[in-house]
A and B are shown apart, each in its own frame.
Chain A
Amino acid sequence: GDSVTQMEGPVTLSEEAFLTINCTYTATGYPSLFWYVQYPGEGLQLLLKATKADDKGSNKGFEATYRKETTSFHLEKGSVQVSDSAVYFCAFQSGGSNYKLTFGKGTLLTVNP
Protein backbone atom coordinates (compact mmCIF):
# COMPACT_ATOMS: atom_id res chain seq x y z
CA GLY A 1 0.00 0.00 0.00
CA ASP A 2 0.88 3.66 -0.07
CA SER A 3 3.64 4.61 2.35
CA VAL A 4 6.52 6.96 3.05
CA THR A 5 9.82 5.90 4.55
CA GLN A 6 12.02 8.61 5.93
CA MET A 7 15.25 8.65 7.81
CA GLU A 8 14.92 7.76 11.45
CA GLY A 9 15.99 10.43 13.86
CA PRO A 10 16.89 12.14 15.91
CA VAL A 11 19.48 14.02 13.91
CA THR A 12 21.83 16.36 15.76
CA LEU A 13 24.06 18.77 13.85
CA SER A 14 26.23 21.74 14.56
CA GLU A 15 25.34 25.09 13.08
CA GLU A 16 26.45 25.49 9.45
CA ALA A 17 26.61 21.73 8.90
CA PHE A 18 25.11 20.09 5.80
CA LEU A 19 21.75 18.39 6.22
CA THR A 20 20.25 15.47 4.35
CA ILE A 21 17.05 13.72 5.39
CA ASN A 22 16.24 10.79 3.15
CA CYS A 23 12.71 10.06 2.00
CA THR A 24 11.34 7.39 -0.30
CA TYR A 25 7.74 6.68 -1.13
CA THR A 26 5.48 3.94 -2.43
CA ALA A 27 2.49 5.27 -4.30
CA THR A 28 0.34 4.53 -7.30
CA GLY A 29 0.27 6.96 -10.17
CA TYR A 30 2.13 10.26 -10.08
CA PRO A 31 1.88 11.79 -6.65
CA SER A 32 2.77 15.30 -5.56
CA LEU A 33 5.52 15.34 -2.96
CA PHE A 34 5.91 17.56 0.07
CA TRP A 35 8.09 18.35 3.03
CA TYR A 36 6.32 19.72 6.07
CA VAL A 37 8.04 21.16 9.14
CA GLN A 38 6.75 21.39 12.70
CA TYR A 39 8.50 23.89 14.94
CA PRO A 40 8.12 23.42 18.70
CA GLY A 41 4.61 24.30 19.88
CA GLU A 42 3.30 24.95 16.39
CA GLY A 43 1.31 23.18 13.69
CA LEU A 44 2.74 21.66 10.55
CA GLN A 45 3.82 24.12 7.90
CA LEU A 46 4.45 23.37 4.27
CA LEU A 47 8.17 23.76 3.65
CA LEU A 48 8.39 22.87 -0.03
CA LYS A 49 6.72 20.82 -2.73
CA ALA A 50 7.25 19.22 -6.12
CA THR A 51 4.43 18.10 -8.36
CA LYS A 52 6.17 16.21 -11.16
CA ALA A 53 9.29 14.23 -11.91
CA ASP A 54 12.57 16.18 -11.83
CA ASP A 55 10.92 19.21 -10.22
CA LYS A 56 12.98 20.80 -7.48
CA GLY A 57 11.18 22.35 -4.56
CA SER A 58 13.01 24.97 -2.54
CA ASN A 59 12.34 27.29 0.37
CA LYS A 60 14.37 28.88 3.18
CA GLY A 61 17.56 27.31 1.84
CA PHE A 62 16.06 23.81 1.81
CA GLU A 63 15.81 21.84 -1.43
CA ALA A 64 14.38 18.52 -2.55
CA THR A 65 14.18 16.98 -6.02
CA TYR A 66 11.41 14.66 -7.20
CA ARG A 67 13.19 11.52 -8.41
CA LYS A 68 10.66 9.22 -10.03
CA GLU A 69 13.19 6.55 -10.98
CA THR A 70 14.22 6.07 -7.34
CA THR A 71 10.87 7.18 -5.83
CA SER A 72 12.75 9.56 -3.59
CA PHE A 73 12.45 13.14 -2.36
CA HIS A 74 15.44 13.75 -0.12
CA LEU A 75 15.60 17.02 1.82
CA GLU A 76 18.88 18.96 1.83
CA LYS A 77 20.24 22.19 3.21
CA GLY A 78 23.79 23.38 2.81
CA SER A 79 24.17 25.20 6.10
CA VAL A 80 21.71 24.65 8.93
CA GLN A 81 20.91 27.17 11.63
CA VAL A 82 19.76 26.76 15.21
CA SER A 83 16.36 28.05 14.10
CA ASP A 84 15.98 25.02 11.79
CA SER A 85 15.54 22.76 14.81
CA ALA A 86 12.17 21.10 14.25
CA VAL A 87 10.47 17.89 13.16
CA TYR A 88 10.47 17.33 9.40
CA PHE A 89 7.82 15.22 7.67
CA CYS A 90 7.95 13.87 4.15
CA ALA A 91 4.53 13.37 2.56
CA PHE A 92 2.73 12.77 -0.72
CA GLN A 93 -0.67 13.38 -2.17
CA SER A 94 -1.91 10.98 -4.82
CA GLY A 95 -3.87 13.61 -6.66
CA GLY A 96 -7.05 13.59 -8.64
CA SER A 97 -9.96 13.73 -6.26
CA ASN A 98 -7.85 12.19 -3.51
CA TYR A 99 -6.57 15.02 -1.37
CA LYS A 100 -5.35 13.09 1.61
CA LEU A 101 -1.70 13.31 2.59
CA THR A 102 0.34 10.20 3.37
CA PHE A 103 3.15 11.01 5.80
CA GLY A 104 6.37 9.50 6.99
CA LYS A 105 7.15 9.16 10.69
CA GLY A 106 8.99 12.45 10.95
CA THR A 107 12.62 13.25 11.68
CA LEU A 108 13.58 15.37 14.67
CA LEU A 109 16.43 17.73 13.85
CA THR A 110 18.35 19.52 16.57
CA VAL A 111 20.94 22.11 15.56
CA ASN A 112 23.43 23.17 18.22
CA PRO A 113 25.25 26.51 18.17
Chain B
Amino acid sequence: EAGVTQFPSHSVIEKGQTVTLRCDPISGHDNLYWYRRVMGKEIKFLLHFVKESKQDESGMPNNRFLAERTGGTYSTLKVQPAELEDSGVYFCASSGTGYEQYFGPGTRLTVT
Protein backbone atom coordinates (compact mmCIF):
# COMPACT_ATOMS: atom_id res chain seq x y z
CA GLU B 1 0.00 0.00 0.00
CA ALA B 2 1.43 3.35 -1.01
CA GLY B 3 1.91 5.85 1.78
CA VAL B 4 1.22 9.56 1.83
CA THR B 5 3.21 11.34 -0.83
CA GLN B 6 4.06 15.00 -1.10
CA PHE B 7 5.41 17.06 -3.94
CA PRO B 8 7.79 18.77 -4.26
CA SER B 9 10.18 17.60 -1.58
CA HIS B 10 11.87 20.98 -1.54
CA SER B 11 10.95 24.36 -2.97
CA VAL B 12 12.97 27.56 -2.96
CA ILE B 13 11.12 30.71 -4.01
CA GLU B 14 11.52 34.42 -3.65
CA LYS B 15 9.37 36.57 -1.43
CA GLY B 16 6.22 37.59 -3.27
CA GLN B 17 6.10 34.52 -5.49
CA THR B 18 3.47 31.79 -5.41
CA VAL B 19 4.02 28.17 -4.48
CA THR B 20 1.67 25.22 -4.59
CA LEU B 21 2.29 22.14 -2.51
CA ARG B 22 0.59 18.86 -3.27
CA CYS B 23 -0.37 15.95 -1.07
CA ASP B 24 -1.65 12.55 -2.14
CA PRO B 25 -3.18 10.70 0.81
CA ILE B 26 -3.41 6.98 1.27
CA SER B 27 -6.11 5.66 -1.02
CA GLY B 28 -9.48 5.49 0.72
CA HIS B 29 -8.57 7.87 3.54
CA ASP B 30 -11.31 10.47 3.92
CA ASN B 31 -9.38 12.59 6.42
CA LEU B 32 -6.52 14.76 5.25
CA TYR B 33 -4.51 17.15 7.39
CA TRP B 34 -1.90 19.83 6.79
CA TYR B 35 0.69 20.75 9.40
CA ARG B 36 3.69 23.05 9.37
CA ARG B 37 6.95 23.08 11.29
CA VAL B 38 8.85 26.33 11.35
CA MET B 39 12.52 25.80 12.24
CA GLY B 40 13.03 25.22 15.93
CA LYS B 41 9.34 25.31 16.71
CA GLU B 42 6.65 22.73 17.19
CA ILE B 43 4.68 21.15 14.38
CA LYS B 44 1.47 23.15 14.11
CA PHE B 45 -1.88 22.10 12.74
CA LEU B 46 -3.13 24.07 9.73
CA LEU B 47 -6.34 22.39 8.63
CA HIS B 48 -8.37 19.22 8.32
CA PHE B 49 -10.41 17.98 5.37
CA VAL B 50 -13.08 15.34 5.51
CA LYS B 51 -13.39 14.25 1.92
CA GLU B 52 -13.61 17.55 0.02
CA SER B 53 -14.97 19.62 2.93
CA LYS B 54 -12.92 21.71 5.33
CA GLN B 55 -13.70 20.36 8.78
CA ASP B 56 -11.36 22.64 10.69
CA GLU B 57 -9.21 25.40 9.29
CA SER B 58 -8.48 27.13 12.56
CA GLY B 59 -4.72 26.81 12.12
CA MET B 60 -4.41 28.57 8.79
CA PRO B 61 -2.15 31.57 9.44
CA ASN B 62 -3.80 34.11 7.12
CA ASN B 63 -5.58 34.52 3.82
CA ARG B 64 -2.38 34.09 1.82
CA PHE B 65 -2.85 30.36 2.36
CA LEU B 66 -5.44 28.47 0.34
CA ALA B 67 -6.05 24.75 0.66
CA GLU B 68 -8.21 22.71 -1.66
CA ARG B 69 -9.20 19.10 -1.99
CA THR B 70 -11.27 18.81 -5.11
CA GLY B 71 -12.98 15.46 -5.47
CA GLY B 72 -11.85 14.38 -2.04
CA THR B 73 -8.62 12.84 -3.26
CA TYR B 74 -5.38 14.81 -3.41
CA SER B 75 -5.00 18.21 -1.81
CA THR B 76 -3.08 21.34 -2.67
CA LEU B 77 -1.86 24.11 -0.42
CA LYS B 78 -1.12 27.38 -2.17
CA VAL B 79 0.81 30.23 -0.63
CA GLN B 80 0.33 33.53 -2.46
CA PRO B 81 2.25 35.76 -2.08
CA ALA B 82 4.90 33.99 -0.05
CA GLU B 83 6.60 35.79 2.83
CA LEU B 84 9.87 34.98 4.60
CA GLU B 85 8.05 33.69 7.68
CA ASP B 86 6.33 31.03 5.56
CA SER B 87 9.57 29.07 5.38
CA GLY B 88 9.38 25.69 7.05
CA VAL B 89 8.45 22.09 6.48
CA TYR B 90 4.87 21.41 5.46
CA PHE B 91 3.56 17.99 6.39
CA CYS B 92 0.49 16.28 5.10
CA ALA B 93 -1.19 13.39 6.88
CA SER B 94 -4.20 11.21 6.23
CA SER B 95 -6.35 8.89 8.26
CA GLY B 96 -9.21 6.52 7.75
CA THR B 97 -11.78 5.75 10.39
CA GLY B 98 -9.22 5.25 13.15
CA TYR B 99 -7.21 7.76 15.17
CA GLU B 100 -3.82 7.12 13.58
CA GLN B 101 -2.60 9.76 11.17
CA TYR B 102 -0.10 8.66 8.52
CA PHE B 103 2.35 11.35 7.58
CA GLY B 104 4.12 12.16 4.36
CA PRO B 105 7.81 13.07 4.21
CA GLY B 106 7.07 16.78 4.08
CA THR B 107 7.85 19.61 1.71
CA ARG B 108 10.63 21.95 2.78
CA LEU B 109 9.74 25.47 1.69
CA THR B 110 12.41 28.14 1.69
CA VAL B 111 11.38 31.72 0.96
CA THR B 112 14.29 34.06 0.23
Contacts and interface: CB of A to CB of B under 8 A. Distances in A.
Interface of A: 4, 32, 36, 41-46, 49, 51, 89, 91, 93, 98-106
A59 to B, nearest CB: 12
Residue picked from A42, A43, A49, A106, most chain B C-beta under 10 Å: A43
Interface of B: 3-4, 31, 33, 35, 37, 40-45, 48, 55-56, 59, 91, 93, 95, 99-106
Contact of B103 (A4, A32, A43): A43
Contacts of B105: 41-43
A103 B48 contact: no
A4 B42 contact: yes
Given A43-B91, A44-B91, A93-B99, A103 B106 contact: no
Nearest to B4: A43
A103 B44 CA distance: 7
